[in-house]
Amino acid sequence: METRETEDVKTEKKSIISRLTNSYDLSDKTKYMIISLSLALIHTFFLILFIIGGVQPLVIYNVFVVAFYIFMGLVWARQEKLTYIFVALLIEVMFHAVFATLLSGWAPGFMIYTIVLIPVCFYMAYTLEGINKSLEIALFASIGISVIYIAVLVITRHVAPVRNMNSVIDEIFFYINNVIALIFSTVFSMLYIIEIKIKQSSLMGENVELEEQANYDKLTHLLNRNSMDKFLSDTIEYSERENKDFCILMADIDDFKQVNDTYGHDCGDEVLKKIAAIISNDVRQGDLVFRWGGEEMLVLIKADMKAAKNVAHRICNHVATSITRHKDIDIRVTITIGVAAYIKGMSAEELIKQADVKLYYGKNHGKDQVVA
């Protein structure tokens, strides 16, 4: 049954979207808290090594930097001042790299962090609402970082460092800085991919919702009248080309107005949903069910009149024996169905009119029947 398959596919799409989104459900606040506290931990290691290396200015600087990153992680991140963290992080990492390089030379490898800052800029510009996802900001920051990198490179080639650390400390810093830079590059690359997946999942969800609104009836979840035009047109074209039989059933719930007037429109809606479910379950694989309007439903049967009548009688009998439960009240209704077979050369309007005429013949001659 194609309506059921369509509904299952739609449900599966929503399930996939939900799984994708939930798999990467990490808030910006949490991410920036982790980043800030990670940088506080890294600078704590730096502080220890600078103490061992005897670089007093960097010891003092890193004491304040550790405290500042802890403040950002525990205060600014909780207050969601994420743009402040973004700007402060860029300035601090850039300043620390330049300051440490001018003091201790190029050998410890502090300037490698400026290279890592470039993908970080683009990631943060992509994810932060506060800077309006501006590519220009990331590009401008990257150009500035590159200029500073080259300037420091030129300076250190011609000017000796202010204070040399011993070669062992230099080598330790060199390896640590390269390892940390590789880890941060990998982490931010992964975060970027995750953000893209989340955005794709969100777009998929929006597309599924738009498709549902465009093609499905909100109450019954049957295909709607707008989508029916295309399906019926395609089926007529296929029938003409391949000489295949098909029929339509025009079904109408008997005395539906009386249900609404007696029990209210909420009850009427429950009855509509119940009948829609019965019809959807009783049609065959490949058949299509539409809500034509009000209490009328149309079924496209891709088979001859004999098969269409069998489906119609099955639906009619099933509806007559079913009960809709509403507020401790059992509601019973019946349904009348008109069946029309497509004849070569017919238009969609002619076919529907033929089914409609048969339907109203049945409504005027006892109801609860199939007229073919």
Give the whole-number percent of the chain exceeding pLDDT 90.
54
Residue 214's pLDDT is 74
pLDDT at 22 over 70: no
In whole numbers, what is the pLDDT of the chain averaged over residues?
86
For residues 282-295, give the mean pLDDT.
90
Domain membership flag for residue 220: no
Pairing state between β 288-293 and 247-253 = unpaired
Domain membership flag for residue 219: no
For residues 28-43, give the mean pLDDT.
88
For residues 78-91, give the mean pLDDT.
88
Instruction: Choose one of 153, 187, 212: the last residue of a domain.
Output: 212
Spatial separation of the C-alpha atoms in residues 64 and 77, rounded to whole Å: 18
Tally of CB atoms within 10 A around 104? 23
pLDDT at 246 over 80: yes
Q: What is the CATH number of the domain that holds 363?
A: 3.30.70.270
Same domain, 247 and 180: no
Same domain, 99 and 246: no
Same domain, 367 and 256: yes
Nearest to 234 by CA among 221, 219, 244, 224: 244
Residue 347's pLDDT is 93
Side chain identity, residue 324 = T
Same domain, 286 and 312: yes
Domain membership flag for residue 168: yes
Nearest to 96 by CA among 80, 118, 112, 72: 112
pLDDT at 20 over 50: no
Q: How confident is the model at residue 4 (pLDDT cuts 50, 70, 90)?
A: very low
Same domain, 159 and 283: no
Same domain, 7 and 155: yes
Instruction: List CB contacts of 254: < 8 A, sequence separation 6 or more.
Output: 333, 334, 335, 336, 363, 367, 368
Contact (Cβ atoms closer than 8 angstroms) between residue 248 and residue 352: yes
Domain membership flag for residue 144: yes
Same domain, 59 and 150: yes
Residues of the domain holding 232? 225-371
Based on the structure, what is the number of domains in the chain? 2
Residue 195's pLDDT is 77
Same domain, 181 and 275: no
Same domain, 233 and 136: no
Q: How confident is the model at residue 364 (pLDDT cuts 50, 70, 90)?
A: very high
| Whole-structure pTM value | 0.55
Phi and psi at residue 334, in whole multiples of 5°? Answer: -125, 175
Pairing state between β 335-341 and 370-371 = parallel
pLDDT at 72 over 70: yes
Contact (Cβ atoms closer than 8 angstroms) between residue 85 and residue 148: no
Residue 132's pLDDT is 56
Same domain, 317 and 195: no
